[in-house]
Structure 1
Amino acid sequence: MNQLLKDKLSLLPMNPGCYLMKDAKGQVIYVGKAKRLKNRVKSYFTGSHNGKTARLVREIVDFEYIITSSELEALVLEINLIKKYDPKYNIMLTDDKHYPYIKITNETHPRLVTTRKIKKDGGKYFGPYPNATAANETIRLLNKLYPLRKCHTIPKKVCLYYHIHQCLGPCEYEIPTQDYKPYIEEISRFLKGDYSKVKADLVKRMEAAAENLEFERAKEYRDLIFHIEATVEKQKMTLNDFIDRDVFGYAEVEGRVCVQVFFIRQGKVIEREVSIFDGIDDVEEAVLTFIGRFYQSNNTLKPKEIFIPSTLDQELLSQLLDVKVMVPKQGDKKELVDLAMKNAEMALNEKLQLIEKQEERTLKAVEKLGELLSLPTPHRIEAFDNSHHQGMDTVSAMVVFTDGRPDKKEYRKYKITTTSEGDDYQAMKEVIYRRYFKVLNEGLPAPDLIVIDGGKGQVNVAMEVLESLNLSIPVVGLVKDEKHRTAFLLDGRDMEEINLKKKGRANVFNLLTRIQDEVHRFVLSFHHQTAQNRQLTSILDEIPGIGPKRKRLLIQNFGSLEKMLEADDSAYEQLGFAPELIRRVKLFIGEELQKKQ
């Protein structure tokens, strides 16, 4: 423990509050709350720890704390700080899910849609449906039963839905608003849990169709009845008071926590949700924070009541959520909580082994890579590769792996401008300069390690560029053996090769192979797209009347010559193309495609 930590620990107060753990880069890596800050923060630096807590403690070089006037304020502040900093050791607690709702739109001709955001737009919302598939299946069923509008934009003429009596045809006929009222009322009853009227009506229709020897139609009604039974009646009634409530249970094994939530709507368990994360040290506090985060992103998700086990702070949670929170003591309600706890335990036991294997492939492989290179654990790895075809369309790409997993939102593509002759060294020089000049100027997070898909030449170029920018970031290259398979890791600091095939290095080898394959796939995809667009652009340049703006419209909306030829004239008209120009484009493209055959 460094002297700064020792001095700050001695000054900690006994008040409630939040603490923010920081790493060597000054980044917040964990946020927690405590009834007594002094006791909680000190506990991290005394005794021994296992798993994720041990990894966290190894990375802490500093911390901050914020005093609050109550434990409730500390819990609210902790939730907001996690949302603000997104610390990597709180990662599972930031998994904000926006569950889908079924919405009857407030339009002249209403529709049934799924949405993850509730707005004050006059629409009717039903849910939530933690299982999006269940929501979509329910909409498909209702669309078969009731003739509401199906299309997003009303077309100019009736479609198939009108002909099969699943739409009233507002595109051609004046449909008074009151005509939709009985359908909306029946759909609302259905979505609130009253399926009996719909089912009874379908039974009558099925019997009538059978009597009239309309067996195909009778079969359709029978299938719809089966569908209702399969999708909405499969859950047994759990409570008969029809109050919407959520039931929480949890289990813990060696700091790993599983939270199980039962969503009860209209007396039925409509869905359950399982989340697994690391509780670090205090499991109960981690579960409280999880529940707070669970409802924070969307208050409309909150039911009338929440059931929790007796080990959680009922009063604190009730104040936080402003909802009736109960700890059932006996009867059916207590059995629901016990069932949630049992399910959480079973789910955790089933997934622990899988999680362990995933960690072996990811975070533990990253830690082992750091050990091989005598570096701190490289949590953020940025990898680069180039691609060209006979010196043309040279491009580069960067992929990012965070804690051994691809972080696709951080991927970047680069069109190389300083060489057109397939000079791999110059391409690498350009992309490294562009990337890390931007990192410096925009204050972007720098990687812990740079991986180059190449040997000494490419690694040397990358290190020269970094040196010119006054950046000290380790660089490694991936070197192939005589069979053209990656076998060595080239350390850019001393240009020594590390054999990845040695015993005990399989996870590191597999990690680097995944990184190499991913950056290779990404750059090849970009190169193919670039070459295709260049060829497409050069062909379109030859068509009279097609300037830069129209050329861009064609590429963006169709993407290929084949799709341009197959598209209806109406698709062109929507882009502002006149009939004569449409005829000219299609004629030219048709001739061009014939030449290729």
Structure 2
Amino acid sequence: SKIDELTEKMMTASENLQFELAKEYRDLIRSIEYVTAKQNVQFGDYKDRDILGYFIDKGYISIQLFFMREGKLLYHDFNLEPVGEDFEEDLIRFLVTYYQTHPEPYELLIPQDVDLELLTEILSCHVLQPQRGDKKSLVEMANKNAKEALEKKFLLKEKTDEKTILPIIELGQKLGIDTPHTIELYDNSNIQGAYAVAGMVVYKDGVPSKKDYRKYKIKTVEGPDDYASMKEVIYRRYYRLLMEQKEMADLIIVDGGLGQIKVAKEVINSLNLSVHICGLSKDDKHSTAMLLDEDGNQVPIDTKSPLFFLLTRMQDEVHRYAISFHRQVRSKSLFSSILDEVEGIGEARKKKL
């Protein structure tokens, strides 16, 4: 069913999407081949065996451990870590650590270039380096699986970098600043000035850092004044960071145009800080339209580029966060009563009154 689904998608997909679907199709076929292969590998003695495989590339070692139970290859464990000066030490350390918390099998199969004598001394199970036959094929399969797993990890990282790190580097270049590894975005939310709140979200190297998100109830502004609200929130945020001597963002992105940028700059300058500021403005359909630098000048960005998509996700995220808090505050207020302030009156009595 998955193959049929992919085939149908490829018939109507664009050229770029067809390329991505083709890779997904290939990975699916490999998975099917792997499952088919492992079901065919059986031994008649029904012994429990573990099979070690590894692969080294780009400073990392990928370690694959297959588990054969009652003569059938059932599942596997994968480990990835930076490789040291001696890869054998990494392999042996991994096995020793693993078997401290897992039962040893009857037999452990290992590649030819791993220290057989040392492992035989350390482990109580039979340790073999198969020279031929099905057992050697199992070790080769483990090595191949370790190689493919490492390649997939690197491919995933490259894709992630394309969507996050590279756009952030480009953003810094377009704004004429150093790469902004930590970015804070701010957005206000209110209804005609009522239930006024603001939200701040944080991105680190293009990835949301949700533990650093913050919510603010506007305290000093009366009526619908987005500029004053933005000024209050940024002042509260950076005055506190200054007093607590905590790390500050490399870039502040405000939701809005030149007016929002100006009030943010006023706050940062008044605190004698050097944090870069820019703005994201929206069009009539409330969609991300343009990036503005500290002086309010439009920064040209290809609307089909990864940078534009990342900025859109960022702006949508801070808007969602602020709106969500606004609804929460408004909902609480709608169900509040003056009786809540009277000591001794509980929820049931309040409803009766």
Give the Cα–Cα distance (whole angstroms) in 1 for the partners of residues 182 and 140 of structure 2: 41
Judge conservation of contact 2:280–2:290 (CA < 8 Å) in 1: yes
Which residue is equivalent to 1:329?
Answer: 129
Give the Cα–Cα distance (whole angstroms) in 1 for the partners of residues 263 and 51 of structure 2: 58
- Larger deviation: 335-344 or 393-402? 335-344
Give the Cα–Cα distance (whole angstroms) in 1 for the partners of residues 276 and 96 of structure 2: 42
Q: Which amino acid aligns with 2:168?
A: V
More strand by share: 2
Residue-pair matches, total: 310
| TM superposition shift of 1:273 | 4.2
After superposition, give the CA deviation of every residue in 1:6-59 in whole Å (9 maximum; x if it has no partner).
xxxxxxxxxxxxxxxxxxxxxxxxxxxxxxxxxxxxxxxxxxxxxxxxxxxxxx
Q: Which amino acid aligns with 1:272?
A: H
| TM superposition shift of 1:538 | 2.8
Q: Secondary structure at the match of 2:290?
A: strand
Which residue is equivalent to 1:132?
Answer: none
Q: Percent identity?
A: 42
Q: CA distance change for structure 1 residues 430 and 300 in 2, over 3 Å: closer, same or farther?
A: farther
Larger Rg: 1
| TM superposition shift of 1:309 | 4.3
Which residue is equivalent to 1:242?
Answer: 48
| TM superposition shift of 1:386 | 1.0
Which residue is equivalent to 2:308?
Answer: 509
TM-score, with structure 1 as normaliser: 0.44
After superposition, give the CA deviation of every residue in 1:275-296 in whole Å (9 maximum; x if it has no partner).
667x5xx577689769969997
Q: CA distance change for structure 1 residues 343 and 461 in 2, over 3 Å: closer, same or farther?
A: same
Which residue is equivalent to 2:334?
Answer: 535
Q: CA distance change for structure 1 residues 523 and 272 in 2, over 3 Å: closer, same or farther?
A: farther
Give the Cα–Cα distance (whole angstroms) in 2 for the partners of residues 294 and 435 of structure 1: 49
Q: CA distance change for structure 1 residues 251 and 461 in 2, over 3 Å: closer, same or farther?
A: same
Q: CA distance change for structure 1 residues 544 and 518 in 2, over 3 Å: closer, same or farther?
A: same
Which residue is equivalent to 2:4?
Answer: none
Give the Cα–Cα distance (whole angstroms) in 2 for the partners of residues 445 and 318 of structure 1: 51
Alignment of 1:43-442 (within 5 A): 240-242=46-48, 247-250=52-55, 252=57, 258-263=62-67, 270-274=74-78, 301-304=101-104, 309=111, 328-330=128-130, 334-349=136-151, 353-442=155-244
Q: CA RMSD in A?
A: 4.2
Judge conservation of contact 2:52–2:63 (CA < 8 Å) in 1: no
Give the Cα–Cα distance (whole angstroms) in 1 for the partners of residues 120 and 243 of structure 2: 46
Give the Cα–Cα distance (whole angstroms) in 2 for the partners of residues 462 and 294 of structure 1: 55
Give the Cα–Cα distance (whole angstroms) in 1 for the partners of residues 182 and 267 of structure 2: 20
After superposition, give the CA deviation of every residue in 1:104-132 in whole Å (9 maximum; x if it has no partner).
xxxxxxxxxxxxxxxxxxxxxxxxxxxxx
| TM superposition shift of 1:301 | 3.9
Q: Which amino acid aligns with 1:249?
A: Y
Judge conservation of contact 1:387–1:396 (CA < 8 Å) in 2: yes
Which residue is equivalent to 2:253?
Answer: 451
Q: CA distance change for structure 1 residues 586 and 376 in 2, over 3 Å: closer, same or farther?
A: same
Q: Which amino acid aligns with 1:516?
A: Q
Which residue is equivalent to 2:10?
Answer: none
TM-score, with structure 2 as normaliser: 0.70
Q: CA distance change for structure 1 residues 415 and 259 in 2, over 3 Å: closer, same or farther?
A: farther
Judge conservation of contact 1:284–1:311 (CA < 8 Å) in 2: no
Q: Which amino acid aligns with 2:54?
A: G
Give the Cα–Cα distance (whole angstroms) in 2 for the partners of residues 284 and 304 of structure 1: 27
Q: Secondary structure at the match of 2:211?
A: helix
Give the Cα–Cα distance (whole angstroms) in 2 for the partners of residues 312 and 441 of structure 1: 56
Q: Which runs of 5+ in 2 are unaligned?
A: 1-38
Which residue is equivalent to 1:223?
Answer: none
Give the Cα–Cα distance (whole angstroms) in 2 for the partners of residues 540 and 269 of structure 1: 68
Q: Which amino acid aligns with 1:329?
A: Q
After superposition, give the CA deviation of every residue in 1:450-502 in whole Å (9 maximum; x if it has no partner).
1111111111211221222222111111123566542322111x432202237
Alignment of 1:459-538 (within 5 A): 459-481=261-283, 484-492=286-294, 494-501=295-302, 506-538=305-337
Alignment of 1:2-81 (within 5 A): none
Give the Cα–Cα distance (whole angstroms) in 2 for the partners of residues 276 and 381 of structure 1: 30
Give the Cα–Cα distance (whole angstroms) in 2 for the partners of residues 365 and 496 of structure 1: 20
Judge conservation of contact 2:202–2:212 (CA < 8 Å) in 1: yes
Give the Cα–Cα distance (whole angstroms) in 2 for the partners of residues 291 and 435 of structure 1: 50
Q: Which amino acid aligns with 1:260?
A: Q
Q: Secondary structure at the match of 2:162?
A: helix
Q: CA distance change for structure 1 residues 330 and 291 in 2, over 3 Å: closer, same or farther?
A: closer
Q: Which amino acid aligns with 2:104?
A: K
Judge conservation of contact 1:385–1:519 (CA < 8 Å) in 2: yes
Q: CA distance change for structure 1 residues 235 and 499 in 2, over 3 Å: closer, same or farther?
A: same
Q: CA distance change for structure 1 residues 276 and 490 in 2, over 3 Å: closer, same or farther?
A: farther
| TM superposition shift of 1:534 | 1.4
Judge conservation of contact 1:543–1:585 (CA < 8 Å) in 2: no
Q: Which amino acid aligns with 2:249?
A: P
Q: CA distance change for structure 1 residues 482 and 349 in 2, over 3 Å: closer, same or farther?
A: same
The one of the two structures with greater contact order (alpha-carbon pairs below 8 A, sep at least 6) is 2
Q: CA distance change for structure 1 residues 393 and 483 in 2, over 3 Å: closer, same or farther?
A: closer
After superposition, give the CA deviation of every residue in 1:349-400 in whole Å (9 maximum; x if it has no partner).
5565554333211111111111112222212211111111121111111111
Which residue is equivalent to 1:58?
Answer: none
Give the Cα–Cα distance (whole angstroms) in 1 for the partners of residues 244 and 112 of structure 2: 49
Q: Which amino acid aligns with 1:498?
A: V
